[in-house]
Amino acid sequence: MRTENRKNRIYLFVCLTLAAGFALGVGPTRIQGQEATFPSKPVEIIVPFAPGGSLDIGTRVLVEPLSRELKVPVIIKNQAGGGGLTGATTFFNAKPDGYTMLAASPAAIISNTQLSKNPSFDPRKDFLPVGQAGVSPIAMSVTKNSPFKSFDEFVQFGKKNPGKLRGGFSSPGGETHIMLVSICKETKIESKIIPYTTSGERSAAMLGGHVDWGTASLVSTMPYVKSGDMRVLLLTHRSPELPGIPSGPDLGLSSVSVDLWLGFFVHSKTPKTAYERLMSALRATFNDAGMRDMLTKAGYIVEYKGPQEFSKIINKDWDVFSEVLKEAGMKTN
């Protein structure tokens, strides 16, 4: 009898405890909702290039304010290889739950897709834009010892001396290649074109007198501009850091307009709630004046673009890449 009474008391205690829990909203439904809240663990951003490059620098500036907005750590994973293809493929194959993002430039997803015989993904369908954080104009520069003080002087010399100029760039098929080929095409000058593996190698070649002019992101070029070793003659996009330097569109050079944008993506199959949370968090980071200042000093133009506007930029650049790469005799899809 005593045993039965004890069981009844225990049963009553459990029932009352559960009832109180449900009244306070901490029953099973509530707990499951808490577990489903995104994000509940660190978010990883794949940067498909080595540390220290333009894309890596810009992404690292955004990590701290993005972590604050999401209230979880944001971790960068550098995965270089294939001009950005290796990292982009890893991102594509990752679980589409919002916990893996991609920081990308046009070269990482546009040219790689167009130059691949059998691309494993189509960035316009498989990659969902979260937003664009900014752009690094591509800079056409010469060394401090160059006789060219303006882009017009450079063009006039090129026209009078066909084939004498030597131009250097890094990353075949990338933004710097696009600018170099576009300059030659639209100004109708003939120049030897010399590819380098990295922008550092290209800069060393310029400083060593092996090439007469070159193209690189403004982020990579600014340290040499500040030291006085190089001067910029043309940009793909006007920059507040170099207000006197014209852009390609300023001079009527329509294809000299592809910037190195810093864009963020998730897989197209990412749940809507996770996607919207990441989108709102990225947008909110632009309230951070310190972040904007750091991005500007690094050579970026801070230009937040939401998914729809960013998609239009991607489609425009897709067409420019396709046309210029064909003009350069490179295989495209």
pLDDT (tens digit per residue) in 293-304: 999 888 888 989
| DSSP designation for 84 | G
From 219, 251, 283, the end of a domain falls on 251
**What is the percent of the chain with per-residue pLDDT over 70, rounded to a whole number?**
88
Domain span at residue 171? 138-251
Claim to verify: residue 146 and residue 234 sit in the same structural domain: yes
Residue 257 pLDDT > 70: yes
List the Cα angle 112/222/239 in 5-degree steps.
80
Determine the Cα–Cα distance for residues 147 and 215; give it in Å rounded to an integer. Answer: 17
Instruction: Report the distance separating Cα 136 and Cα 153, nearest Å.
Output: 25
**Looking at residues 61-67, what average pLDDT do you find?**
96
Average pLDDT, the chain: 87
Stronger pLDDT, 305 or 20, i.e. the higher one: 305
Say how far apart CA 159 and CA 183 lie, in whole Å.
12
Does residue 16 fall inside a structural domain? no
Q: Are residues 50 and 101 in the same domain?
A: yes
Query: Same domain for 88 and 167?
Result: no
**130 and 264 together in one domain:** yes
Distance CA 329, CA 70 (A): 45
Q: How many domains does the chain have?
A: 2
| pTM given for the model | 0.80
Amino acid 19: pLDDT: 42
- The answer on 267 and 126 residing in a single domain is yes
- Using CA atoms of 215, 217, 220, 223 in order, give the dihedral in degrees to the nearest 10: 80
Other beta carbons within 10 angstroms of residue 165's beta carbon come to: 19
**Omega before 39 cis (within 30°)?**
yes
Please give the pLDDT value at position 50. Answer: 86
Dist CA 298 CA 73 (whole Å): 23
Domain assignment of residue 35, yes or no? no
CA distance 103 to 110: 13
| Residue 34 located in a structural domain | no
Give the model's pLDDT for residue 23.
38
Token pair, residue 202, equals: 């290209």
Q: Do 194 and 213 reside in the same domain of the chain? A: yes
The span from the CA of 192 to the CA of 203, in Å, is 16
Q: CB under 8 Å to 62, separation ≥6 — which residues?
A: 133, 282, 285, 291, 295
Residue where one domain finishes, among candidates 194, 218, 251: 251
CATH number at residue 268: 3.40.190.150
Q: Looking at the domain assignment, is residue 84 inside a domain?
A: yes
The backbone region for 299, taken as left when phi is positive above 0, alpha when psi lies in -120 to 50, beta otherwise, is left
The tokens describing 221, both together, are 């070029």
Query: Which one of 251, 270, 298 terminates a domain?
Result: 251
Between residues 10 and 157, the one the model is more confident about: 157
Q: Are 163 and 93 members of one domain?
A: no
Residues 159 and 307 in one domain: no
25: Cβ contacts below 8 Å, ≥ 6 apart: none
Helix, strand, coil shares of the chain, percent, nearest 5, are: 50, 20, 30
In a domain, 128, yes or no: yes
* Mean pLDDT lowest among 36-40, 93-97, 130-134, 209-213: 36-40
How many whole angstroms separate alpha carbon 109 and alpha carbon 87?
10
* pLDDT given for residue 120 in this prediction: 87
pLDDT, tens digit (0-9, with 9 covering 90-100), for 8-42: 454 444 344 434 443 334 433 333 343 469 999 99
Domain-located, residue 85: yes
Say yes or no: 154 and 234 in one domain: yes
Instruction: Indicate if 225 and 321 belong to the same structural domain.
Output: no
User: What average pLDDT does the segment 44-69 reach?
Assistant: 93
Q: Is residue 12 part of a domain?
A: no
Residues 207 and 281 in one domain: no
Looking at the structure, do residues 166 and 234 belong to the same domain, yes or no? yes
End-to-end CA distance of the chain: 84
Contacts of residue 229, Cβ cutoff 8 Å, sequence gap at least 6: 143, 144, 207
Q: How confident is the model at residue 173 (pLDDT cuts 50, 70, 90)?
A: confident
Q: Is residue 213 part of a domain?
A: yes
Element (H, E) at 265: strand 260-267
Distance, in Å, from the CA atom of 188 to the CA atom of 178, rounded to the nearest integer, reads 15
Q: Which amino acid is at 13?
A: F
> What CATH number has the domain bearing residue 145?
3.40.190.10
CA 153 to chain centre: 33
Q: How far is it between the farthest Cα atoms of the chain?
A: 112
